[in-house]
Amino acid sequence: MPMHEKLPPVIRLVLHLPGMHTVVFDPTDSAFIIIDHANYQRTTLTVFFEICTTLDSAQQYIYQKFPQHFVCACLALELLENDQEWTQCLKEAAALHTGSQLRILFAVILTQCTYTHPKKLWLCFRTDLCDDLHYHLHKEYNILDPTDKQIFDLGLFLLDKILHQSNQSLKMFSLMPF
């Protein structure tokens, strides 16, 4: 169930005091670009209010439903971040960590971070997230030569078990395969 369908209704808002927000930047960018990006202090909530005051059609939606109906506008206004920071995070982690550890990180990204395309992240990193499961299927289930589908299905199953520890599941993330 999505976060806003929990009882009581809860939604994670990104709010920061002026000058206290998180800034994600590419270290190859110039200092001017980084500072300019840091000075851009709009949050999804403040822009939600801005758009509701300018577009009559937006006023019919509550905050939680807004991105579902205005995804293109939200992406264009950089309200929905792209997954570049999570792609970079997983890429760096994949070089150093096991599939088991990466599944925990992926669960944290799903439950605690702002992302737009979790299925794309899964598809991009599923080989890394499941790199320990060929052996597991052979050892635990006596499957001598598991297929990629069997490996990835077990990876999703184990990821779901991790999510259950925080009372969530893959079914809550409608874009994830399960």
pLDDT, residue 14, reads 59
Contact 1, 174 (CB under 8 A): no
Nearest C-alpha neighbor of 111 from the set 9, 12, 7: 12
Nearest C-alpha neighbor of 93 from the set 101, 85, 81: 101
Three-state helix/strand/coil letters over 55-69: CHHHHHCCCCCHHHH
Whether omega before 8 lies within 30 degrees of 0, making that bond cis, reads yes
pLDDT, residue 84, reads 79
- CA angle 138/87/115 to nearest 5° reads 105
pLDDT, residue 99, reads 93
CA distance 18 to 95: 36
CA distance 122 to 112: 16
Residue with tokens 């998180």: 22
CA distance 137 to 116: 31
User: What single letter denotes the amino acid at residue 94?
Assistant: A
Q: Is the pTM of this model over 0.85?
A: no
pLDDT, residue 1, reads 43
User: What single letter denotes the amino acid at residue 164?
Assistant: H
Nearest C-alpha neighbor of 39 from the set 47, 27, 31: 31
Q: In tens digits, what is the pLDDT along the chain, a chain of 178 residues?
A: 444 455 555 556 656 566 666 666 778 888 877 776 666 656 667 677 777 888 787 788 777 776 666 655 655 555 555 677 788 889 989 988 999 999 999 998 888 776 777 888 899 999 999 999 999 999 999 999 999 999 999 999 999 999 999 888 888 876 667 6
Parse the chain into domains and list their residue ranges. Answer: 3-76, 84-172
CA dihedral sign of residues 69, 73, 79, 83: positive
User: What single letter denotes the amino acid at residue 81?
Assistant: E
